[in-house]
Amino acid sequence: MKKVILTVAAVFAFGFANAQDKSASSDAIKFGVKGGVQFTNFNADFDTDGKTGFYVGGLADFTVSEKFHVQPELLFSAEGAETTDGFDLGISYLRVPVMAKYYVMEGLNIQAGPEVAFKVATAEDIVDDFTKSVDFGLGFGAGYEMTNGLMFDARYNLGLSDINDVDGDPDSIKNTGFQIGLGYRF
């Protein structure tokens, strides 16, 4: 886990240093911040109610071509679900999506890419005990970027890995979520 976090930090640091060196091509790499609201739940073998949370973090946008960009992000994400009787199954993650963005027209893009998430906190100790510390998923969405740097996006996050960490328990638990947010690119 430390290697992945260090790798992500190195990518951001390299990108920042590279952006400072390339003042002539300032559009090659742009940094930004983003945040928003998300509606999450578990895709599980038992019934749960959804949970409303938030996400906030930073991004680096790498221009590959006029129509294609790659955007790694580092987000703090409050996710989870609730049991039908109100028990809080909240999990906070440090989520690292790497989105491929294709611009279908000026400002409007569609995006997809893999995500890895590292559990950093839970609402209850028992939730920490029965869930794995790493989650993998895919993100799909769309965004619109204005020329002044303001951006809006909507994304669906589909959990691919079973986060149930109870030995012998056949129940599968996967994260799902829908995000609506805004951000600003510098």
> Residue 149 gets which letter from DSSP?
S
| CA nearest to 175, candidates 11, 44, 27 | 44
* Domain 2-185, second-level architecture: Beta Barrel (2.40)
pLDDT of residue 45: 87
Query: In this predicted model, which residue has the larger pLDDT, 28 or 90?
Result: 90
Q: Partners of 176 in the beta sheet?
A: 41, 158
* Mean pLDDT for the chain overall: 90
Q: What HEC string does 82-120 produce? A: EECCCCECCEEEEEEEEEEEEEEECCEEEEEEEEEEEEE
| CA nearest to 127, candidates 38, 51, 35, 39 | 51
Task: Please check whether residue 123 is in contact with residue 90, taking contact to mean a CB–CB distance below 8 angstroms.
Answer: yes
Check pLDDT > 70 for residue 10.
no
> Residue 17 gets which letter from DSSP?
H
Q: pLDDT > 90: what percent of the chain?
A: 80
| CA nearest to 108, candidates 147, 159, 57 | 147
pLDDT per position as a tens digit, 37-74: 999 999 998 899 999 999 999 999 999 999 999 999 99
Task: Please check whether residue 11 is in contact with residue 5, taking contact to mean a CB–CB distance below 8 angstroms.
Answer: no
Neighbouring CB atoms inside 10 A of 132's CB total 12
Q: Partners of 181 in the beta sheet?
A: 36, 153
| The model scores a pTM over 0.85 | no
Neighbouring CB atoms inside 10 A of 73's CB total 23
Check pLDDT > 50 for residue 16.
no
Query: Measured at the alpha carbon of residue 68, what is the angle toward residues 11 and 160, in degrees to the nearest 5?
Result: 65
